[in-house]
Structure 1
Amino acid sequence: MPDGSQKVEAIEQKELLVLEAKVIPPDGIELPVNWGDLGLQLIDSGVIDKEKFMAIYTNREDVSESDKKLLEESSNGKIIMTQRNANFLLNLFWALGLGNKNEILEKGPMTDQQYGGADKFASTGGWTLARGDAMDHYSKHSFVILTSSQQTLVERVSQNIYRPCCGNSAYFPDCNHGMAMLGLLELMASQGVSEREMYKVALQVNAYWFLDTYLTIAKYLETKGDSWQKADPKEILGPNYSSAAGYQKILSQVSPPTQRGGGSCGV
C-alpha cells in the first residue's frame, strides 16, 4: 500500500493535471488567424530554409502532416496550437516576426545604438534557419502589411506583453519568444482581431511556450482566491506577472508545480 507521502504526491499530481488542463487545454486552441500561404512566402523569400527547418524535427513526433502543410500549401486556414506543436509554431512565428517589414524593428529598441546593433540579439543571431544570414531578412519582406491604425494597435499591445525569459516586452523582441509574439500580433492585427482578443490569445500562446511559468502563476492566483479562467489576460501578460522580475516575485510567494516544460531561447 502507498505510504502517506505517496498519497500526497498522487493528490498533488492529480491537482496539477487539473490545473494544466485549465492553462493549456489538452485539445489545443484555435488561433484566430488564417495562415494562407505565409509558409510558402517565408520559404520563397529565404527567411526559412526548409531543409534546415525540417531537419530540427527529424525523428520527432511533435510535427504532424497538418503542421507541415503550413509550410507547403497555400490555402491554410486557422491554426490549432497544442502542447505537441507549440515549438514548431514558435519557430514559424519567429521567422514571420523577423522577416516582416515593420517600424518596431526599424525604429524601436532593437536598433538602439547602446546595444551595438540589431544583429547582436538572440532573436537575430540565433535564427540559423534562413538562407544566408538572418540579418539579410531582418524587416525586409512585406508578408503582413498593416494600416496605420493596425500598426498603432500592434505597438500598443506589444508594449504590454512580457515573457518570463527576460525583462523586455514584445516591443523589444530580443529573443525568439518576443520576435514570434510580434509576428503573431502583426498577423492578428492585419486580420481584424480586436485588442481584447489579441491579449487573450497572446496569454494562451505564452502559456504553451512557458508552461511551468503559467502553471505557477495559475497556482498563485488560486492561493489569492482568484482563478486562471477569470484573470485579466492583459494584467497577467504585464510586467508584474510575466516579466522575469515579476515572475520571480511570484515564485517567492508560491512553490512551483512539478516541472512540466518550458521554452528555450534557441531554435
Structure 2
Amino acid sequence: MKNKIKNIIIFFAGAVIIALLGLAPNAPKTFSLYWGNLGARMVEAGVIDMERFENLYQQRGGLSEADRKLLADSDNGNLVITSENSGMMLNMLWALGLGNKNPILENGPMMTYSGAGLPAEALAKAGNFASTGGWTLGKGNAMDHYSMHQFVTLTREQQDLVEKVAKNIYRPCCKNSTYFPDCNHGMAMLGLMEIMASQGASEPEMYKMSGEVNTLWFPKVETGCGV
C-alpha cells in the first residue's frame, strides 16, 4: 500500500514538473528568435505596406497589439512563433525572404529554372512564381523588392550554412526545397533560416526549427515529412 501511494505521489509530482517546464505532450510548440526592428525596417523599405497588411487582417479580426508591435516598434525582443500566430509570421517571414538580399535568390533555381538566358529575362520570369507574383502586401511590384534590401547580413560561413540547410529542407505543398523558394512557405522558410544563421544557430538547430515550424504551417503533416 505504501509503495502504491509513493508511486502515485511520484507520478503527480512528475506531471507538475513537466507542466511547469512546458514539456507537456499537448503543450503548444514555441520557438524564440530575436526580432528587434526587422518588421519596422520592412515597412520602411516598402516590402510590407502597412495599410494593405492591416486591410488583409481586418478581414480576419484585425491585428493584435502584439502583431502591430512586431511591425512598428524597434525594440522587440525575442519573437515566439506559436500555432496562434504562425499564419501572421508566415507572411512576415515571406516578406523577409523575398526582400532580403541573398545569392540564393540571385543565382539559384529562382533565376535558372526557366532556362532564361539574359539576366533581365530571368528576372522577369522569376516574377511569375507564387512567392513573387503572389506577394501583394508590399508597395509597388514584388520584384521591386526582390533581393534588394540588406535586412539580414550574413558572413560567408553563415551564407554557406543557409545554402546547405536550404537544399535539405523540403515543404509538403510543392515538394521543392527551400533553396528553390517558389512558394510563400519556401520564401518564408528562407527568411527564417537567414535570421537563425545570422544569430549563430547551428545546423541541427536550424533543421529542428524548420521541421517544427513546418508542423505549424502544415498541421496535418508529420514533422519528418517537412525536412
TM bracket, shorter-chain basis = 0.7 to 0.9
1:187–1:180: structure 2 CA closer, same or farther, 3 Å change rule?
Answer: same
Does the aligned pair in 2 maintain the 1:30–1:78 contact within 8 Å? no
Does the aligned pair in 2 maintain the 1:63–1:84 contact within 8 Å? no
Answering whether residue 192 of structure 2 is matched by residue 192 of structure 1, we say: no
Aligned position for 2:82: 82
Answering whether residue 156 of structure 2 is matched by residue 136 of structure 1, we say: no
Does the aligned pair in 2 maintain the 1:121–1:175 contact within 8 Å? yes
1:62–1:81: structure 2 CA closer, same or farther, 3 Å change rule?
Answer: farther
Aligned position for 1:94: 94
SS at match of 1:120: coil
Pick the structure with greater CA Rg.
2
Does the aligned pair in 1 maintain the 2:40–2:74 contact within 8 Å? yes
Deviations 1:9-54 (A, max 9, x none): xxxxxxxxxxxx85x842x4032x2111011110110100011011
1:62–1:160: structure 2 CA closer, same or farther, 3 Å change rule?
Answer: farther
Does the aligned pair in 1 maintain the 2:130–2:183 contact within 8 Å? yes
> d(CA) in 2 for partners of 1:176 and 1:80?
20
Q: CA offset at residue 114 of structure 1?
A: 2.7
SS at match of 2:95: helix
> d(CA) in 1 for partners of 2:219 and 2:167?
22
Answering whether residue 190 of structure 2 is matched by residue 179 of structure 1, we say: no
Answering whether residue 50 of structure 2 is matched by residue 50 of structure 1, we say: yes
> d(CA) in 2 for partners of 1:208 and 1:25?
13
Identity of aligned residues (%): 56
> d(CA) in 2 for partners of 1:137 and 1:46?
8
Aligned position for 2:226: 242
> d(CA) in 2 for partners of 1:123 and 1:167?
14
SS at match of 1:132: coil
1:89–1:74: structure 2 CA closer, same or farther, 3 Å change rule?
Answer: same
Aligned position for 1:253: none
Q: Which runs of 5+ in 2 are unaligned?
A: 1-23, 117-121
What TM-score do the two structures reach when normalised by structure 1?
0.70
> d(CA) in 2 for partners of 1:63 and 1:210?
22
Aligned position for 2:30: 29
Pairing partner for 2:133 from 105, 125, 129? 125
Superposition RMSD on alpha carbons, in Å? 1.8
Q: Which runs of 5+ in 1 are unaligned?
A: 1-20, 218-235, 244-267
Q: CA offset at residue 144 of structure 1?
A: 0.3
